[in-house]
Amino acid sequence: MAKHEGVEEVKLARRIASGKVILIRNVKLPDKVSAVGLGLTTKVNVNIGTSSKVVNLEAELEKVKIANKWGDTLMDLSTGGDLDKIRRAIIRESKLPVGTVPTYQAFIDSFKKKGGGAYFTEDELFDVIERHLRDGVAFMTIHAAVTRELAIKALRSDRVIPIVSRGGDMLIGWMLHNDAENPLYARWDYVLELFREYDATISIGDALRPGATADSHDEFHVAELIEAARLVKRARKAGVQVMVEGPGHVPLNEIIWDVKLMKKLTDGAPYYVLGPLPTDVAAPYDHIAGAIGAAIAGAAGADLLCYITPAEHLGLPTPRQVEEGVIAFKIAAHVADTIKLGRRARAWDDEVSRFRGKLMWREMINRLIDPEKAWAVYTQYGEPKVRGCTMCGGYCPMLMVMQQIKKVKGEVNG
């Protein structure tokens, strides 16, 4: 992994030991691994999965292929169909470490068997977690930082959208129905035992993340982040890999200090940001809006970007929409790295620019992020008959500059 990331092995090992870098994997599937954290390239996560209204395993496996090509991690967020079968099929086809949200299955199984999602027992919830770990799940969203007291306050507040997290909402419903504390919070030490056994990563979920920019960094958002930081410290002491999930809908001017605040509170734990979305009005172009926020967050120090598709806030994404989303965020990750990693990342840009300046089209296109699509655009009116493209043709500035350089050098030599 050190060789792949271009860092010294000793330096990487120290960062892993400190908890500032994690190797997302499961000991049962050690070859499916992604390194996330300080000094490493910004990674992109791809969410897929069925819904209660659309269950098409073939389509989800097509999305897995797209994730394998473009992503670094993959999450199965399925809520419809045979969840065990779907998860195992996705893990089998994925070349990437796979994550899940186990609360979904505990809630849905309870609804099917008992007629209510909040009827699952604590043991049933932990049984689902352990089943996912046995299947080879490498990381899970665990909404352990939302307490019953904090959830009730959020529900009573004047937030624009009180709760936007699906898994968080299911867990909050359980707390209210059972008049009990969040079992993932109350039994955090047991959660740590389970994950330590498989060397899997806990992703501390943000049940109270802002679902509207107006709710960003309110008392509930920040209070949950503070509690997450406490849980990070306990996880590190127990030898468990951990990262923190972040917002959410956040105004552009708050994104940088959101990352700085999280890193300060957690002593540099890897930050897994959902977007962030700097506007609420972009659907069906949330992948573009999200990529803007993601590039800023990544440059500020966020480590793993959870992609957003054009279908966000509107429906289940198609394979094509999944690809559009992940490419947008792959670009955002690279933009972030040109700031975060400097010359190490900028070398790619410089290489492409040198080829472009010399009108070396094939060489340039082969080094772009999507050469196949770039070539299709370059030749969409037929392969150009002149050295310039079909936009400038014979008036290409690079072509004219090369002629001017020859003239200037000739005059100087004369």
The pair phi, psi for residue 166, each rounded to 5°, is -65, -50
| 332 & 349 share domain | no
Q: Which helix (H) or strand (E) holds 371?
A: helix 371-378
Residues 81 and 122 occupy one common structural domain: yes
Question: Does 107 share its domain with 238?
Answer: yes
Q: How far apart are CA 240 and CA 201, in angstroms?
A: 7
Tokens at residue 201, please? 């990563």
pLDDT-based confidence at residue 393 (cuts at 50, 70, 90) = confident
Predicted confidence band at 85 (pLDDT cuts at 50, 70, 90)? Answer: very high
CB 192 within 8 A of CB 258: no
User: Residue 91 corresponds to which amino acid?
Assistant: I
d(CA 157, CA 171): 18
**Average pLDDT of span 50-56:** 96
Q: How many domains does the chain have?
A: 2
pLDDT at 168 (0 to 100): 95
Amino acid, single-letter form, for residue 44: V
Q: What is the pLDDT of residues 169-213, one digit of tens each?
A: 999 999 999 999 999 999 999 999 999 999 999 999 999 999 999
How confident is the model at residue 60, as a pLDDT? 98
How high is the pLDDT of residue 308? 97
Q: How confident is the model at residue 385 (pLDDT cuts 50, 70, 90)?
A: confident
Question: Domain check: are 160 and 222 in the same one?
Answer: yes
Q: What is the mean pLDDT of residues 63-91?
A: 98
Cβ atoms within 10 Å, residue 383: 10
What is the band of 412 on the pLDDT scale with cuts at 50, 70, 90? Answer: low
CATH code assigned at 223: 3.20.20.540
How far apart CA 151 and CA 208 sit, in angstroms, is 8
In a domain, 246, yes or no: yes
What residues are paired with 273 via a beta bridge? 246, 305
Q: Which has the higher per-residue pLDDT, 387 or 56?
A: 56
What is the chain's mean pLDDT, rounded? 95
Do 212 and 306 belong together in one domain?
yes
Note the helical H segments in 245-358: 252-266, 286-300, 319-340, 343-357
Show the domain range for 380: 345-411
Asked if the model's pLDDT at residue 414 lies above 70, the reply is no
Which residues make beta-bridge pairs with 341?
Answer: none
